[in-house]
Chains A and B, each alone.
Chain A
């Protein structure tokens, strides 16, 4: 049977505000438990929430970036549920009138085509605290530092048809919120959390199948695996004549499987109602217009510009604009290099990225700064060093953090372009290898490589390869 996968995502992004959404407590990650939770976050009697304007601005910024309708009047509602890490007994969220309405974003699918994913809505809400089950010997510890951290929950339509598409969409949103500087995107710290609604149906069917919701996915790799596992599981159930149960499932990365967490019968009835402590949020056109002026160049526009201005291939432009950090690094390096966009692109996407991956570092942790990479490329372009020597220099840069010019100078790596010096080396090599000279003259052109190698060796890799070639050719054919 031909099954079709249908996926919609709910993405929780922690907004990068300094203070919480309804209180003045800090949102910094990693503080001592319960040191960043004030009376409002603790839900003590008599406290009143006050909305953080910065969070509203960030939500609007996102809305504008996905061409969404902005909710000029949005309302905060109480979502009631009882859980120890939610001290008030309800979460302040948005229900009927969210701050961001319908929008869309384009993703690139397998065949390279663009596919438009509709964003149903995005709403502001507060994060819950954390329950800590380890180190408490059968008891549970509660850390309320996270309680009240602003979240923007971004809900998509069930527009994705494979785990790959879901990952492409999630990555796109991940990149976008970082471009907009509204979220640090740190998945390990929980700043960017993805829940996937997954169902399957027979191809051609209009009705959606019963879905399950997968939670607890903290990397894109796991997202893809979790969805694939879940799709297989649902197909197995259906093909065995069973029915998919609507439920929430947890992904266990260690076992690479999803497990039932709670079924719909146990599901909460959240009893939403407008929060009487908070006025409706009314925005005006001037506010929106002001935020519009703060929008940076967005990934898709940047990608187009990279292709047009720097003559990059699509694949490279994709890589270089995948994150704002990468794009900024690239442009800074190109500027230093004197406009060597293609060379910088090669070095950045192969040498530097390879090295970062190998050492499991992010671009931000790179020991080689953008300006240094630009200087290195500049020295390749102006023939101070060859590409091969540049790799040596790069190694040293990586270790020591020194500038390329210092390294080239200190280690005497400057390329030899003095015609006389190279000629002397060529003559020496020819004189030392009469046998090979005979072979070459007898028509064995391959021996040329041997000669080039010998001269290179004699120059310790520093002689200009084009010059060696020209001189050898001239001399051997004499």
Chain B
């Protein structure tokens, strides 16, 4: 029963991540992976702090490419992970981020990501709101969407 309740209901990707998480925390690997990763995270966080000394907000695409077909990248998890690459940095640095629709590419919607300094959710929401007051991308549907 224990084994079943621990395996059932998790998809392959979730299981993969649990295994990676377990592996990097295992005896002997903590310093090499987890601790190292934490140090790098710290550096990323510092980088953002520096950037925010000069700008109020950082904007960019939410993903490197528009949506791909369901299951198209299951065989190649790394290229699938790459679709997260622009949003992961907000998580790593502990910063608030938001994605708003900003147009279409080959008929598929494209997101605009904004990242604000820590605890500046008010600024972030304010800018996103202002953006949507002057654009209507968030009201449009892809052409062949039923």
Contact = CB atoms under 8 A, between A and B. Distances in A.
Interface of A: 80, 82, 84, 269, 271-273
B22 interface: yes
Contacts of A272: 25, 30
B2 A273 contact: no
Contact of A269 (B2, B6, B26, B34): B26
A272 B29 CA distance: 11
Nearest to A84: B2
Contacts of A273: 25, 30, 34
B2 A82 contact: yes
B27 interface: yes
A45 to B, nearest CB: 14
A90 to B, nearest CB: 11
B22 A271 contact: yes
Contacts of B6: 82
A271 B26 contact: yes
Interface of A: prevailing SS: loop
Contacts of B25: 80, 271-273
A117 B64 CA distance: 62
Interface string B8-48: 00000000000000100111001000100000000000000
A269 B30 contact: no
Nearest to A140: B1
Given A269-B26, A271-B30, A273-B25, 4 more contacts: A80-B25, A82-B2, A271-B26, A272-B30
A80 B26 CA distance: 10
16 contacts: A80-B25, A82-B2, A82-B6, A84-B2, A269-B26, A269-B27, A271-B22, A271-B25, A271-B26, A271-B27, A271-B30, A272-B25, A272-B30, A273-B25, A273-B30, A273-B34
Nearest to A274: B38
A82 B25 CA distance: 15
Contacts of A271: 22, 25-27, 30
Nearest to B34: A273
Contacts of B34: 273
Interface in B26-74: 26-27, 30, 34
A84 B1 CA distance: 11
A271 B29 CA distance: 9
A81 B26 CA distance: 12
Nearest to A139: B1
A271 B34 CA distance: 10
A83 to B, nearest CB: 9
Contacts of B30: 271-273
Nearest to A83: B2
A272 to B, nearest CB: 7
Contacts of A269: 26-27
Nearest to B23: A271
A209 B81 CA distance: 49
A138 to B, nearest CB: 12
A80 B18 CA distance: 13
Contacts of B26: 269, 271
A238 B22 CA distance: 37
A269 B2 CA distance: 18
Nearest to B6: A82
A213 B6 CA distance: 29
A80 B30 CA distance: 14
Which of A82, A271, A272 counts the most B-chain CB atoms under 10 A from its CB?
Answer: A271
B98 to A, nearest CB: 21
B90 to A, nearest CB: 15
A275 B38 CA distance: 13
A271 B19 CA distance: 12
A272 B22 CA distance: 10
Contacts of B2: 82, 84
A80 to B, nearest CB: 7
